Structure 1
Amino acid sequence: MRILYLTHYFFPEGNAPATRVYEATRRFSSAGCDVTVVTGVPNVPNGVVYEGYRNRLWQREEVAGVDVVRVWTYLAPNKGTLKRIVNFLSFMVTATLAALRVPRPDLVVASSPQFFCGWAGVFASRLRRAPLVLEIRDLWPESIVAVGAMRKSPLIRVLEWLERRMYAAARRIVTVGDGYRQELEARGIPGERISVIPNGIDGAVFHPRPDDGRLREEWGLGRRFVCAYVGTIGMGCGLEIVLRAARRLRAEGRDDVRFLLVGDGAVREELEAQARAEGLDAVVFTGRLPKARMPEVLAAADACLVHLTRTPLFRTVLPSKIFEAAAMAKPIVLGVEGFAADLVGRAGAGICIEPENEAQLLEAVSRLAADPSLGRKLGEAGLEQLGRPYDWNGLAKTYLATLQAVASAGATAR
């Protein structure tokens, strides 16, 4: 089977969308599929091209057995709505043109975020006469309104209309959790057209391992209790909660806890400058680290923070950070309501707190710091319930079976 996969993000970028597509497509290739990924040059989150790449109209490489075509885009950091929309639109155009230059696929997969990548999939599907599978990880444009990047306006209403048309064009919609399935069904998408393939982990990379101490020494963490946040530091993450918790620690005269924020994003510089100006030594920013170092980071942590702002939209979200922390047998401090809280709570994999509530965050961290056996218990439960069962080896087989069914139906229709 020949698969054309359109994605705005891909390896070596380390965010959740890039990781998902990389882990799935390399396994599709290993299973005998001919996979072509059309993407941009790696530049997330700051709009700066990674070393070794150039922002050209067309360039090609092979990554883990996958044919990767990188196209030109207008580069923009993950902030500033207008520039990001131009970035998204430029990818829609160049990705659609690239789809005409590759061998005709048996099906097209287009992955969100972002929204206009989905429309590139619609155009590619029609131009190449192949069925479209639309992967939904984000309900856009609703999500940009939810985080305050845009307000309700005539433009948003136009985008919502385009969103509905995009869903209608897809032969199958794949999403990452039952929360999204329910949202899509509420928008009139028949349940039989929706498949749920959650995010997962590479069990060969993310598994329990001892801390070798190097990262703690590198960032001056010592033997303190470390609560790590690993991922994009963006508008919707609500990480101001960490600074507020650090102020409470200082007011209590405590120096036994460090919040380690690993990653970059739209608000990282602002938060780091604020923490530095206030002398909040309990908060340590590392900036973006290579994806290959994430197991080392998680091994050094005593607990992992997963947090989003308190908004109804995020009740449907299942952050991939949950599964990576669980696979490393780390207790999770979860500040996400809805499906994520239900999942972590049922698994007994962590402590759930109210989003944006720094008092509860500090209480959860203090409990874990005072009782290492509690952390071990929660971590072991997470490993059994959320780590091993969510390995990409199994998830990719399910995903590939879904794609094969769509391709077979499409071939019959042609």
Structure 2
Amino acid sequence: MNKTVLIITSYFPPEIGAASNRIFQLAEGLHNANCNVTVLTPLPNYPTGKIFDDYKGKFTHQSQENGITVNRLWVYASNSKNKLLRLIAMLSYSFSLIWFFMWHKIPKTVIIQSPPLLVAFTSMLFLRKKNRTLILNVSDLWPVAGFELGALKKNFSYKLLEKIEHFNYKKASIILGQSEEILTHITSLYPDKTTFLYRNFPEFKAPVIEHHSESGTLKIVYAGLLGIAQGIYKLCNELDYSGLEFHIYGSGAEQNKIEAFISQHPELPIFFHGRVTREALHQVLMAYDVAIIPLLNRIYGSVPSKIFEYAHLGLPMLYFGGGEGETIIAKHHLGWIAEAGNYEHLNTVISTIKAEHISEERKKMIQKEAVSNFSFKAQMNRFKQLI
């Protein structure tokens, strides 16, 4: 008999970004492993903070997507910087979850995405039963990450979030962590907790790497969320543009500032291409020399999933975020590392990148390393045995 699995998440396609891609791949991987998969998620609204046009005016929406049942619930959508409005948005989804739990039969195996902490807390609180396996998928450590980003201060609210965080860990049957740092943090609190290192490996056929003519100009690309944590606006201000072009794909909170900066500095070789689908992005990325992966501040526990995605594309990386990501880049010879937050060092590292460092042969070596070490299928097989 096939196992039935419910996945509770705040992000899911057609929303863009690492979070929605990660959960979609998890759902699809379990489906391909002969599980009956249902996803519980809000009506799509990220990152715009507005319900997508196809879902406006709906309280709930159910669909079948690639063999997966997707239930979308009402949410008060907002990406406001006002903390109260953000809290109301999270609480609204929590209330929708409670309503769903009351009127639907919940399977014995449930995977719950965290953060957001409040959504995970709601699920843990209402679904905790001895005969149910609650699997907490921790992609970032909150409230620690919030403090390191400058979004939270160590006050009463922080202490409350810590209590919620610990409650979630305590009630989980199994905890998945996307990094060794996350699992180290959790086992320091609950040494006997069953944990599993679940990296955000991509699942797509590695493209054939073709030779591109050398223009003499280093083409650096950033693709992803244009949020505060990534610091792309500051990067635009700090890069030394002699001998390079900087290409940007994505959307987010800093988009208007970035577009305004480009408009005010037409002399700089910065190109903003907007948002494209993941499939289209894979094609356009192949034309660039180096992908930059920045974080404005080093975030404990964070390992950008872009590392594994770009490696499968054979795209050399320039990592500028500190932490465990540096270790992965260095261990697997995926590119260059610049000291987190040190823009002078970043520009120095860029100046050392030569044509022979981004050759077709080098890209093929990176891709081979990814296929050997970042296998989604092998990881999914191990995870399936665990649950």
Q: Same fold (TM over 0.5)?
A: yes
1:393 aligns with 2:384: no
1:378 CA drift (Å): 4.7
Contact 1:79–1:266 under 8 Å retained in 2: no
Q: In structure 1, what is the equivalent of residue 349 of structure 2?
A: 364
Give 2:222's aligned residue.
229
2:359, 2:294 → 1: CA distance? 18
- Residues 118 and 164 of structure 2 are in contact (CA less than 8 Å); yes or no, is this contact kept in structure 1? no
State the partner residue of 2:33.
31
Amino acid at match of 2:325: A
Secondary structure at 1:300 match in 2: coil
Q: Does 1:300 align with 2:287?
A: yes
SS of corresponding position for 1:266: coil
Residue 382 of structure 1 deviates from its aligned partner by: 2.6
The corresponding residue for 1:262 is: 249
Counterpart amino acid of 2:231? G
- Superposed CA deviations along residues 78-108 of structure 1, whole A, max 9, x for unmatched, are 7443322221111112123223434330211
CA contact (8 A) 1:237 1:307 kept: yes
What TM-score comes out, normalization by structure 2 length? 0.91
What stretches of structure 2 of length at least 5 have no aligned partner? none
Partner of 1:287: 274
Residue of structure 1 equivalent to 2:231 = 238
Deviations 1:207-252 (A, max 9, x none): 3444899xxxxxxxx9843211111111111224421344x32xxx
Deviation at 1:14, TM superposition (A): 2.4
Secondary structure of the structure 1 residue equivalent to 2:50:
coil
Contact 2:321 2:341 in 1 (8 A): no
Q: Is the 8 A contact 1:100 1:127 kept in 2?
A: no
SS for the counterpart of 2:64 is: strand
Residue 201 of structure 2 aligns with an amino acid whose one-letter code is G
Task: Name the TM-score, length of structure 1 as normaliser.
Answer: 0.85
For the residues of structure 1 that align with 2:45 and 2:212, how far apart are their CA atoms?
Answer: 30
Establish whether residue 15 from structure 1 lines up as the match of residue 23 from structure 2.
no
Deviation of the 1:375 alpha carbon: 4.8
CA distance in 2: counterparts of 1:301 and 1:200, whole angstroms: 22
Residue aligning to 1:410: none
Q: CA deviation at 1:129?
A: 5.6
| Pick aligned residue for 1:2 from 4, 9, 16 | 4
More helix by share: 1
How far residue 137 of structure 1 moved from its aligned partner, in angstroms, is 0.5
User: Match for residue 320 of structure 2?
Assistant: 335
Distance in 1 separating the partners of 2:345 and 2:271: 20
Q: Where do 1:91-240 residues align within 5 Å?
A: 91-126=93-128, 130-186=132-188, 188-190=189-191, 192-204=193-205, 206-210=206-210, 224-240=217-233
Does residue 57 of structure 1 match 2:59?
yes
Task: Check conservation: 1:76, 1:84, Cα contact below 8 A.
Answer: yes
Aligned equivalents of 2:359, 2:231: Cα separation in 1 = 24
Question: Matches of 1:335 and 1:55 in 2, distance apart?
Answer: 42
2:75 counterpart SS class:
coil
Deviation at 1:18, TM superposition (A): 0.9
Cα distance in 2, alignment partners of residues 100 and 240 from structure 1: 45
Q: Name 1:344's counterpart in structure 2.
A: 329
Name which of 292, 310, 313 aligns with 1:325: 310
- Aligned residue in 1 for 2:48: 46
Q: Check whether the contact 2:140–2:301 (CA below 8 A) recurs between aligned residues.
A: no
Aligned letter for 2:257?
E
Counting aligned pairs with the same residue, the percent is 22
User: CA shift at 1:156, angstroms?
Assistant: 1.4
Root mean square deviation, CA, Å: 2.4
Task: Report the residue type matching 2:170 in the other structure.
Answer: A
Q: Which amino acid in structure 1 is aligned with residue 310 of structure 2?
A: A
Gaps of 5+ in 1: 214-221, 404-414
Closer/same/farther in 2, CA of residues 301 and 199 from structure 1, 3 Å limit: same
Whole-angstrom CA distance in 2 between matches of 1:75 and 1:374: 43
1:119 aligned counterpart, secondary structure? helix
CA contact (8 A) 1:110 1:118 kept: yes
Structure 2 Cα separation of the partners of residues 189 and 78 of structure 1: 35
